[in-house]
Amino acid sequence: MKHDRFHGRVHRAGQRCERPGCGEAGEFRAPGARSSGFDGPGDYRWFCLDHVREFNAGYDWFEGMSPEEIFAAQSPVHGWERQTRAFSPTAGIDTAPRWADFKDPLEAISARARARKPAQRQDGRAVTPEERRAFDLLELPIDATRHDLRTRYTTLARRYHPDINQGDRSMEKRLQAVVEAYQLLRKSALFA
């Protein structure tokens, strides 16, 4: 595949324009049904020059946004208001090592790296830090079964639900955390 970066033209052998009735080469890509995101770049549709121009003339990036969201997206500092892990004061690491516990600073650094290494279940599947926190919140070992997960969730949901606690809403945040942890683990590949 040859790419002409100044014009957006991508030379691909055999790719035809996706506009019905057009027999030209599809050398220009446009956003497809699935947009880019965490799972990858998304789908593309391929058009000839005339039809990609037609597509671009009718494409609205701001479609579905409120006026406030459009204004925020047009701001030159859009996206910079949140602190990324790399630029946070702790660089994404919970706490500083206790240097007095180590003879060599490199030992402290390697101990931190070992602590951040993903845990593994007995079946060899790696457990992400988010999954590890969910297991800890639900007070389950990382080798718990789907049945253990469901049983523990049911127990905690009953314990923290306001209807069980005579309408006491002080446990609502704890209940929400339990529900989120359960949903994360339930959908995880660990229980597939």
105 assigned to some structural domain: no
Residue 46 within a domain: yes
**The pLDDT of residue 62:** 81
pLDDT in tens, 28-51: 888 877 766 656 667 888 888 889
Domain of 54 in residue numbering reads as 1-82
CA of 108: how far to CAs of 95, 103, 119, in Å? 12, 8, 19
> What are phi and psi for residue 188, nearest 5 degrees?
-70, 155
pLDDT digits (tens, 9 = 90+) for 135-191: 988 999 888 899 999 999 999 988 888 887 777 777 888 889 999 999 999 888 887
Reduced to 3 states (helix: H, G, I; strand: E, B; else coil), residue 61 is coil
Asked, for residue 88, whether it belongs to a domain, the answer is: no
Residues 1 and 73 in one domain: yes
The Cα 78–Cα 65 span in angstroms is: 15
| Euclidean distance between CA atoms 192 and 189, whole angstroms | 5
Domain-terminating residue out of 30, 55, 82: 82
Do 130 and 78 lie in a common domain? Answer: no
Phi, psi torsion values for 30, nearest 5 degrees? -135, 155
Element (H, E) at 102: none
Last residue of a domain, one of 82, 107, 127: 82
Report if residue 87 sits inside a domain: no
Is residue 7 domain-shared with residue 68, that is, in the same domain?
A: yes
Strand 126-127 and strand 2-4: the pairing is unpaired
Average pLDDT over residues 102-106: 79
131 within some domain: yes
- In terms of domains, do 73 and 135 share one? no
The pLDDT assigned to 89 comes to 57
Whether residues 75 and 131 fall in one domain:
no
Number of domains in the chain: 2
